[in-house]
Amino acid sequence: MSEWLSLPTGVTKSIIAGGKGDIPIFQDGGKVLFHFRSLVLKDDGERTVLDDSKKEKEAFELLLGKQFKLDIWETLIKTMRVNEIAEFICDTHHIATYPVVSKSWRDMLKKKHKKHNGHDHEHEGHGHQCGFAALKQGLGYKDLDEYLKEPRPLVFQLELLSVKQPGTYEKDIWSLSIDEKFKSIPKWKEEGNSFYKQKNYDKACEKYSQAIGVLEQLCTREKPGTEEWLEIDHMKIPLLLNFSQCMICKKEYYQAIQHLTTVIEKDENNVKAYYRRAKANHLIFDFSNAQKDYERAKELDVSLMSTIETELKKIQLDIKNKDNEDKQKFKNAF
């Protein structure tokens, strides 16, 4: 067929299931979604599966024209119709980067699995190496390391699920320019607020974190202490306050205190920061610091006098109850 003519030397294609319609228009900036299965082709014709996105229930997204590490995939996809399933056999010189791509994909799946099971930590670093630097020390997966030692042709079984043209979908964050990210901050903040009202605190935190991360990126482009740097840095404050409130709702009190302290370092007269930090300190039984923060908030905003006096009475009651509990424990110990 004519679409096969675009395949490079060293690649053969066979169709497993025909797709629908004509071959789509593939434009740079477009997004394709597909399932893939990769198999090592041995000399005796035996095949060994390396990866299977269907088994993992995780289709692969590819942005066209973005110089993806495994450029042969873009070439193969451009010969396919939507819903087509095709098999491509590729010589080794086309797939040298596949082990690195496979590692990144597997690492991503691991991270998603950890997050789903509640083991992921914000800002957690894994110290992994990217690209070919990782090859020197191995990739951390036995089958990929073995393949590196003895490269062989790979068979890719691809199923094209969808093709989205530029401008018809919301871009992934990583693909946005820094200016595009900056323009997205008000939208992310609004989305975070909406998730907060729905009590979806994880999603709200995700949106606030995106916005804070962009502002941190922008700060690195300015000289610290300059008017431009201070203006950007000040924009973090409402986002940090919102993020901290989510942390309190999630009972992540120490994280809330950490971020509220950052706000106070930027704005020493921020009433909300003192009030919320007082609440968080109270909830971790740090009564002394809770009292100090409530007193400071009361100084800054006298309209909170009645509310804060009520909170201070609660602290006094908790101090009394804790003293009684401690006395009882000490008494029982002897």
In which band, very low, low, confident or very high, does the pLDDT at 63 lie, cut at 50, 70 and 90? confident
| Averaged pLDDT, 86-91 | 97
The pLDDT value recorded for residue 127 is 37
If you average pLDDT over every residue of the chain, what do you get?
A: 87
pLDDT at 273 over 80: yes
* Residue 236 three-state SS: helix
246-250: long-range contacts, CB 8 A cutoff, minimum separation 24: 246/196, 246/201, 246/204, 246/205, 246/208, 247/205, 247/280, 248/276, 248/279, 248/280, 248/283, 249/199, 249/201, 250/201, 250/202, 250/205
Quick one: tokens of 50?
């390396």
Which residue reads 């809770």 in tokens? 290
pLDDT in tens, 178-201: 787 888 899 999 999 999 999 999
State the pTM of this model: 0.55
**Ranges of CATH 3.10.50.40 domains, the chain:** 2-164
**Ranges of CATH 1.25.40.10 domains, the chain:** 173-326
pLDDT in tens, 116-148: 554 444 433 333 444 444 445 678 899 999 999
292-301: long-range contacts, CB 8 A cutoff, minimum separation 24: 297/271, 300/269, 300/271, 300/274, 301/271
pLDDT in tens, 251-266: 999 999 999 999 999 9
DSSP code string of 184-232: HHHHHHHHHHHHHHTT-HHHHHHHHHHHHHHHHHHHTTS-TTSHHHHHH
The CATH number of the structural domain formed by 2-164 is: 3.10.50.40
The pLDDT value recorded for residue 52 is 96
In which band, very low, low, confident or very high, does the pLDDT at 115 lie, cut at 50, 70 and 90? low
The pLDDT value recorded for residue 95 is 94
pLDDT in tens, 216-246: 988 888 898 899 999 999 999 999 999 999 9
pLDDT at 74 over 70: yes
The pLDDT value recorded for residue 128 is 40
The pLDDT value recorded for residue 322 is 81
Q: What is the CATH topology of the domain spanning 173-326?
A: 1.25.40
